[in-house]
Amino acid sequence: MRERLSSKPFLNGVMIAGAIAFAWSVAHLSTPDPLKFICYCALSLIAATLRVEIPELNGTLAVNYVFVLIGLVDLSLPECMVATVLATLLQCLGGSGKRVGATVNVEKILFNLSNVAVAVVACASVLYSPWLIAHGANLLLRVTLAAITYFILNTFAVTAMIALTQAKPFFRVWRECYLWVFPFFFFGAGFARGFHWLAARFGWQMAMLSLPAIHILWTAFRFYLKRLGNEKKRAQDLAALHLRTIESLALAIDARDYATGGRVRRVQVYVTEIARELNVSQPEVEALQAAAILHDIGKLAVPEHIISKPGKLTPEEFEKMKIHPAVGAEILERAEFPYPVADIVRYHHEKWDGTGYPAGLRGDAIPIGARILSVVDCLDALAADRGYRKAATLDEAMDMIAEQSGSAFDPRIVTILERRYRELEAMALAKSPGPVLKPVPTRGTETGSMEEEKSGEPAFLTSIGAARDEVQKLFELSDDLVQSLRETNSLLLFADKLKLIVPHDLMCIYSIGSIGKDVLVPEYVNGSEHLLYSSLRIPIGQGLSGWAVENNIPIVNGNPAAEPGYLNDPTVITNLKSALAIPLEENGRAIGVLSLYARERNAFSRDHLRVLQALAPRLEAVLSNGRRLSEAQDHAVTDYLTGLPNSRSLYLHLEAEISRCRRRRAGLGVILCDLDGFKTINDEHGHLEGNRVLKAVAADLKDCCRGYDYVTRMGGDEFVVLAPDMEEAALEENVQRFRHAVRRTGVRLGYPALSCSIGAVVFGENGDAKTADALLAEADRRMYADKKRHKTPQAEEILLSA
């Protein structure tokens, strides 16, 4: 509206001047030779129909300007005025009626008629200028100057209207739309002078015979303009192709950072309008429009895990992110844009107070384009969803921008944005067919983030966005897996995040070896029917999961009914209809299978399989680490050779038993057994044979004990048995049973000299044996006393006879 109002005075001035010129001409109209006047008018009207399209404008240009020059030479000014106005009227009406459904713009027609009337008067003033005649200017020179005058006045007026109504630079419009037709006005001047010479020598009737040359001129003119128009269109199409190519690549890059096509166009609208209000030069405006889509191209040099990081960047990651403006500028410098795009991209993260990057510029030292883009880009970022925060409303984002006026941003630009941001948002909504951001209806009312419309989102942006989301989710899932030390916690996190990437109703992780090397046992089950599937025991090679493990081949959309055949209750039928199973390995050895189940048929795709195959190494590492941790925990309290609890476990259990005895005033027998003759076996037959003997003795001792007795290997060839609720008499029976068990083991293994020395004590009987150390020390003392008795000759004889 502002631009249209500014053109009114000029339009009214031209129309008033044209009306005065036409009225004066009609008032002085006289026709000494009516036939000649009528013929000239007819030919001028015919010439008005010989139009050519102007490539840059929605209009035409006719060759009747030749008859304007002829009429000025051979007719009076009033006669020439009438003929020219009638021809121009026919040209305007013919141009409007040519397009189907077009309406006649009376204001436009009056402007063209007035413009022509003023030009005719100006041309007559030049042609019959007393000053030119007094200085000896011949007719050809005066006609040429008149033709130049007609061209300048006619084209300048039309260009001024276009520049005022469309807010375009005057000389740029004139140069692009009219300058290239200027040579034909010289041809018209020459033709008018030749026509006048023929008319003066042979009469105007004979001169009419030269008029076919007008058609030749029009044909040449039309061919020239058509070819010129084609070349211009080709150049424009090529430039548009380059721009679309750059824009598509820029959109693809921005899609990695949550930007969309609608947001890029939105930034373009904002920066363009703000730049125009600040009277920024046209090359700078064009640079801003390009920079709006290219300013983040330098993020190609930033690692994907930093760009997709869901949380706040570390100082080191932020330093890496800060290189993208300089990298982007270097990339764009090689493209050699005809306007300063590179500098805008390089400095669009500079701040008004000098605390920005990469150069630390401040104030007006920052290029105006970079200052504009900095404000708009920040507003757009605040009003858009990111992986680490929700979008602010447009009003909230504007408030945050205003708070940084004078520190981060140029105050003038913030002032303009505060005044016009709603108007600019409406313009962006109107120009963006794709996703846009809707502001809240009124300021200060309900808060909420802007809403995305996906109606016009290009397919490639959707695909890139999906790939970005997949990378982010995989990164988060992998990060969760490696952060938790407990296998159960890791698998719980894994199940929650996996459902976002590969939708499913039940996840089962089966492992091998917990109850047998040929059976898969559920190690982790999460989802519907988890109780049912937790009872599965799947032989390797059978069922979906067993087949996948045996053949090391994944299964996509298999029938889960194959699995329930191995349920404890064979009558139970699962409601799940499709399954995806992928085998898990460690160092080339199968360790289990990951199986996902869904209620829908054919719920899984090859793309889901690809995601699981990418995650399998992480899951395999978690399972392997969990298994190693479990084994390490077992080894911490278990003797690796005999499988009995070790000395560490003995002390823990003995302390617990002593506490129990004190509470319940119960008895506790502690029996320490040391093998006699074992060293000879080790020395003569080797440690492997000694290990075999120790394992056999451990097994036989355990068989001699009650189910709740605690049998441990103290170390070396020493064993300790904790016998709860055992009195002295029963303890002595156990001691003798242990002796006979060791002797039987020795005989069975071929070592009849193998025996044992035993020390036994009951908690509470010995006043000093009130602690674990005291009990073991007392048992050890008695065991050594027993060993000494065995070494006497009488004892040896007794042992041999036994």
Q: In this predicted model, which residue has the larger pLDDT, 219 or 4?
A: 219
Q: Please determine, for residue 738, whether its predicted confidence score (pLDDT) is greater than 80.
A: yes
Q: Please determine, for residue 100, whether its predicted confidence score (pLDDT) is greater than 70.
A: no
- Encoded tokens for 2: 């502002």
Q: What are phi and psi of 579, to 5 degrees?
A: -140, 150
Residue 697 CB contacts under 8 Å (≥ 6 apart), including other chains: 675, 719, 741, 742, 745
pLDDT tier for residue 367 given thresholds of 50, 70 and 90: very high
- Termini Cα distance of the chain: 123
pLDDT for 385-418, tens place per residue?
665 667 788 888 899 999 999 999 999 999 999 9
- Encoded tokens for 451: 């809403």
Q: In this predicted model, which residue has the larger pLDDT, 429 or 446?
A: 429
Q: Please determine, for residue 471, whether its predicted confidence score (pLDDT) is greater than 90.
A: no
Q: What is the 3-state secondary structure (H, E, C) of 465-484?
A: HHHHHHHHHHHHHHHHHHHC
Structure confidence at residue 450 (pLDDT): 35
Structure confidence at residue 398 (pLDDT): 92
pLDDT tier for residue 161 given thresholds of 50, 70 and 90: confident
pLDDT for 236-260, tens place per residue?
677 666 666 666 666 666 665 554 4
Residue 679 CB contacts under 8 Å (≥ 6 apart), including other chains: 717
How many angstroms separate the CA atoms of 15 and 722, rounded?
120
Q: In this predicted model, which residue has the larger pLDDT, 449 or 12?
A: 12
Minimal CA–CA distance to 375: which of 426, 407, 417?
Answer: 417
Q: Are 153 and 119 in contact (CB under 8 A)?
A: yes
Least confident among 288-302, 307-321, 355-369, 540-554 = 307-321
Q: For residue 527, what are the β-bridge partners? A: 506
Q: Please determine, for residue 487, whether its predicted confidence score (pLDDT) is greater than 80.
A: no
Share of the chain above pLDDT 90, in %: 14
Q: Please determine, for residue 266, whether its predicted confidence score (pLDDT) is greater than 50.
A: yes
Q: For residue 583, what are the β-bridge partners? A: 593
* pTM, full prediction: 0.47
Q: Are 557 and 578 in contact (CB under 8 A)?
A: yes
Q: Please determine, for residue 133, whether its predicted confidence score (pLDDT) is greater than 90.
A: no
How many angstroms separate the CA atoms of 622 and 491, rounded?
8
Mean pLDDT of 350-373: 92
* Residue 29 DSSP class: -
Q: For residue 6, what are the β-bridge partners? A: none
Q: Fill in the amino acid letter for 781.
A: R
Q: Are 124 and 153 in contact (CB under 8 A)?
A: no
Burial profile 520-546: b = 16 or more Cβ within 10 angstroms, e = fewer: bbbbbbbbbbeebbeebebebebbbbb
pLDDT tier for residue 180 given thresholds of 50, 70 and 90: low
Q: Tell me whether residue 511 is exposed, middle or buried, using C-beta atoms within 10 angstroms of its C-beta: 0 to 12, 13 to 18, 19 or more.
A: buried
How is domain 647-801 classified at the architecture level of CATH? Answer: 2-Layer Sandwich (3.30)
Structure confidence at residue 485 (pLDDT): 45
How many angstroms separate the CA atoms of 246 and 332, rounded?
11
Within this chain, domains 2-211 and 647-801 share the same CATH topology = no
pLDDT tier for residue 192 given thresholds of 50, 70 and 90: confident
How is domain 2-211 classified at the architecture level of CATH? Answer: Orthogonal Bundle (1.10)
pLDDT winner (highest mean) among 122-131, 333-342, 481-490, 566-575:
122-131
pLDDT tier for residue 554 given thresholds of 50, 70 and 90: very high
Task: Report the chain's mean pLDDT, rounded to a whole number.
Answer: 78
Angle formed by the axes of helices 77-97 and 34-49, nearest 10°: 30
Within a 13 Å sphere around the CA of 176, how many CA atoms are in the beta-carbon half?
A: 14
pLDDT for 669-711, tens place per residue?
899 999 998 888 888 888 888 999 999 999 999 888 888 889 9
Residue 110 CB contacts under 8 Å (≥ 6 apart), including other chains: 15, 18
DSSP state string for 391-439: PPPHHHHHHHHHHTBTTTB-HHHHHHHHHHHHHHHHHHHHH-SS--BPP
How many angstroms separate the CA atoms of 463 and 468, rounded?
9
How many angstroms separate the CA atoms of 55 and 35, rounded?
38
- Encoded tokens for 387: 């992986």
Angle at alpha carbon of residue 98, lines to 97 and 101, rounded to 5°: 65
CATH for 467-636 is 3.30.450.40
**DSSP alpha helix (H) spans, 727-802:** 728-749, 772-790, 793-801
Q: Are 60 and 218 in contact (CB under 8 A)?
A: no
pLDDT winner (highest mean) among 98-102, 693-697, 787-791:
693-697
Q: Where are the domains of the chain?
A: 2-211, 256-442, 467-636, 647-801
How many angstroms separate the CA atoms of 85 and 68, rounded?
10
How is domain 256-442 classified at the architecture level of CATH? Answer: Orthogonal Bundle (1.10)
* Residue 279 DSSP class: T
